[in-house]
Structure formats: C-alpha cells, structure tokens
A and B are shown apart, each in its own frame.
Chain A
C-alpha cells in the first residue's frame, strides 16, 4: 500500500516537474495562436481565390500585426543610414580590409601562438578597466546613476582586488556588477541626436559623425593617451588592438564571407548594432524618471532619478 502511494506521489512529482506549465504568459498566447493563423489564411484566400498552398507562390506581406506591439522594443526595426560618401567609404573599407589581412591578423595570430588565452583575457580586462572614465562619464551624462555607481564600484573592486584590472571579479555571480556597455556616441543618441551619415575611418572603421565623438572623447578620457613618450603610447595601443583581435580571429572573416556585398553588410551591421544600443540606453533612461515616457527630454538633468 505504502509502495503504491509512494509511486503515485513519485509519478505526480515527475509529471508536474516535466509539465511545461510555467507562469509565462506566453503560454496563454500559445493556446490562442491557432485561431489567428486560420483567420489569416481565410483572409488571404479571400484576396486570392485561386491560391495554391505553395508558399513560394505567396506574395510578401509586411508584418501588419507587429504594429500592435509598437511599444514593444523588440519589434522588428528597419534602420537605414544615408551614405553620401559611399565612394570614398568603399575605398577606406578596402584599406581597412587589407590592413586587417596583411598586418593585424598575422600579428594577432603570432601573438595568439605565444600568449595563452587566459593571459590574453587578462590583458583585455586590463584595457577594459582603463576604459572606465569614458563609461562612467557617459552614464552620468545619461542620468543613469545606477549605471555610474556600478561602473565606479567595478573600477574600485577590479583595480584593488583584480590586480590592477587584470581580473574581473566584479562580474562574477556573487557581485554581479556588469560592465555598462556605453560610450559618448550613445550618450548623444540618448539625447536625441540622430546618427547622421555613414563614415568609414581608416583604422577605426565604421562610424558616424555622432559616434566619431566617442573616438575623439576616448582620446581625452583614456589614460593610455596620457602616456608620455609617444612611442610608449603607440606600443600600448597596438598591444590593446592586437590582443583584442587575437580573441576575435575569424569573426571578421565569417561576416565578410557570409556577405554578398561586404561593404553594405558591415554598414548595415554597424547601424543595426548602434541603433539597438542607443535604444536600450534610451529605454533605461525613460524607465527611470516616470511612467511611459518615450520622448527624450531636451535637458538630461531634468530626468534624474528621484526628482
């Protein structure tokens, strides 16, 4: 008797644990996901009575139903950018491509052979720790006080306990202080300044007038820029770039090989990436001062938390 009871409880536990009845509201949607499909089919059949079931014969339709979720930030976005300098940019793009394949990649590969991965990650951590001033300032300028506090704590902890930034104890599970992925270009974006047009800088790569501010700002905010003999500064910068490249060998090649027109592919990837970053920072911004504020106030100071 006891045995049977135990096995019933066991079976129940197993069944409950394995059942996909999580509290996720999407499950409700799942059960209701059938009717709209049929509805759509009926609709399209009306438009086109002699329609076959072959999806190849169906026309492309925009996702009208996505508009209902216009407030949903992950809705499919269509971002584009003006490219008045395309002919010049294509030349610079070629130059950067050659720079990568002829100089950066061979050096990074040699470096990768000699330096073990753990050491390269430490070097990456070190340089990323030095990027603290730009990230901290950007958080402040975006009125993201919690982000700024996170950055300040990260910098202190990683510098002191992370042996000058070589280790990154703050992003571990216990402290969970993640690096704030932001910069001055994003700050301008959060303030409502548009991206402008596409520029490819030699060495620095894809950019826009707005994001060029980051390149310029980093020149003043990066401690490395204050190293005295210029040769030391150059050396450290090259180490930073080569080290970073050694951890990413293959990424550039993969994106390039996948592209039909690499220039356009990189332009689009850059624009999409920056757009989503600014969007994410804006969401953080507008979620802090009050409910449902989607437009960006002209004065960033007015939206400070706690006002």
Chain B
C-alpha cells in the first residue's frame, strides 16, 4: 500500500512532470529534490503536527479579555513551522522565499492539512496574503511586509465577509476614510475571519475589502486595504476581535468577528479595484481548499485502514468483509483522484507562470472550481465513510474519525461555496470558449483510458444545456460529473506510471465512474 507521500512524489515527478516543467523554465528541480522536500514535510506533518490534533480540537481557541489564545501546543509547533522555513516554499526569492513551484506547496499543504487542518489553515492564509501582496503591493509595501509574512513571523488574514455580504460581496459596507497623512482609517465589521486574532505571532496583517468615500455601490466600488494588528511604533491598531464563532469543526482555528474602529490602513493596488486584486489570489486559495478536502480524505482513509486491519469480528479482521473493503476502496480511489487532480491544477498554475502559457492559464481557470468543489465533496464523503468503517466507535469522539468529518465539512463551504464554484464553472469558465477546452480535457481523459468514453460522452452531451438556461440549475451536478471523469483519468495515469495503482484504477472505472453519467444526466434533467 502506498502512502500519501509516495503518491504525491509519484504525481509530482511522473504524472505532472515537475522536473520537466521546471527544467523548461530554466529553474530545474530534480526528482531527488522533490522527493527530499516531500519526505521531510511528511515527517514533520506526521511527527510534529499530527500528535496534538485531537487536543487542539478539544481545547479549541479561546477569547480571553479581548485576546485570542490558540490551543496551547500550537505556539511551540508554530515556532517549529517557522524554523523549518516551510512558509516560504512557493514565495518569491526576492522576499526571502524559496521560489519553488506551487505544485510542491500543494503537496506539502495536503500532508500538513491531513495532520491538522485547523493549524495548517493559518499558514495557508498567510501564503494567500503573500501571493496577493507579491502581485499588488508597491515595492515599498512589499519590502515592509513580505519578508515578515514569508518567514512566518507575521500571519495574514483575508477580511472579506460581512454579516449581510457572504457570497455576494457587492453588499459590502465596511468603509475607509482618508487620514491627513494620506493613509486610511477603516470602519466596519467583518465576520468569519479565520485566524483573525491569535497569540502565535507578534503581528498580523489584515487584508481588508472596504469602500472609499463616494465609491459606487456594488462590486465596482470596492477597494483593498492592509491593516496591521500592531503599528510600526508598537501601538495596537484599532482592530479587535469581538467574538469567536462556536463551530461544527476546525475548533483549533479561531474564527473571529473583527471590529475595525478607525484602524490605520494602507490602500493596496488601485482604488475601486479591490475585488480584482482579491480574485488574483482566489485561484490559489480555492486550490488550497480543494487540497484540504484531499487531506481530510487521506487522513480518514489512513485511520480507517488501520482500524479495519486490526478490528476482528466473526473470526477475521473487518477489512476482509466485502462491504468494508468496498468502502476502503472507494476512499482510496477518490482520495488518489483528488490528490492528483489538485496537483494537475497546481502544475497548470506553475506552467502558466513559469512558461507564460495562456493555455495552462485557461486549464487552471477551468480546473480550479472543479478541484475546489469535487475534492472537498469527496473529502466529506471519505470522512463519512471513515466514520462508517469505525462503526459505533466512529460515532464516539475518541476514535478521531468523527473529528475528520466535522473538520472536513467546512471545506465545501468556505472560499466560495461549492454551489458558487459550480456557477463559476458553468456561467463564467465554460462560456469563455463555448466549452472547447472542457471538450479537450474530456477527449484527453478518453485517450488515457478508453473505458472513460461513455462517461465523457454523457458529460459532453450536457455542455449545451449548461451553456443555456438550464446551466444554473444543473451546475453542481455537472461539475460533479466533470470531476468524476477527470478524476478517473488521473487515477488511470497513476496506474500507468505505477502498477501499484492498477487495482484502484479498475475499481474507479468499474464502480465509481458511472456516477459521472448519473450526475451529467441529472444536470441535463433541469
């Protein structure tokens, strides 16, 4: 049986061909180096991050006298994370990062998310902030903030949501007022701010969407600001945590209500162009959430496999019963498919950037909503199957299977609900070329494994309906169908690269792929 790290290494080297991609870009990364990085990240995730996972869930983040305390062991653990230099993996070398490919970061993120999703969410958000600032900050801003964020000495947040503005950001009310020194003062309330306030680092940089005075209503009047928790002179900025949410899962991650009461802030990028700047990093952030889904599926699988191989009933271990074996096989197949699909998308991001390939850019745009939604839905399903494999013990918190299900459940919701992802696919991405690129991907899938033919044809048949009035109704099922077909192709490619995955491929094609047909037909049914 291969481990998650084994599969990631196979995927990076043999399937998305990161050595070839980086060599073509003139920044060669050898297969041994990829393996060395993934192995050490795996070791760090398993030995340092994972052990405190349940403790963090039970202790949760606490709000005391306006200050948020993360679970106790997160402080030394975060210190190890910073010391390990992992935060800077894909960050620009000019700002202290390693400048390594996004696909490699994606692999590290999966391993760490599997170990503890709550903890890893903090570095994930900081990486998003780095991504955004690297593209939109002025050189002066970049010099002041990026080295701190890239090293992990500061963390970053994304302050978008407000009580009346969730999926619809055009309803934002937070406002910025000019200050005499040319900077801005932010007023308003933001909710659902992950790691908005905490005690892991001395400073946090909040990236905040707000309106300038006189800005037009709707999404065109939104600007982006940066407001540090501590100001350069050491004063606390006028931004505070007004409360923590009591959530279903990811208890170790503080989900904050953030109050901006005249917080000193700087404008990032051009006025009224805040949403565009945010969207620039949205692809990376959405891929990262898809990767969280894969990570939760992988953790659920690993725990269920161990349990089923040791739990005896009726004179044999339960993994020898066909129905338990079926559940484990499904978890294995969807996790592998999601893992490789996420790597494929991340490698498209690298190809788009490193080789300036518009074709790769288009693939990334198309794959992003599929990875985000399909992988997080599969993560929840795998987590639920994981509980099922554990039986009654899975329903009890001690086994840990229940925590995976609770933690995994946020991933289909945040960073754009999966319904929003489906609309993005059907009403934004497909019409760009009338479905041409998707047809290409479907044809590629059939080339990898002819057995995908019927499923691919059914999905293709649904494209015209999706481009028409039926799109918004069928979008989610259509996205799901695309995910099953593209996932099947990834698993087939894995089996071609390593026969160890042949059984998983056969099970995927035989048992799971018909779901693509059902989903595509449901999408067309209107």
A and B are partners in one complex rather than unrelated chains: no
What residues make up the interface of A, taking CB atoms closer than 8 Å to B? Answer: none
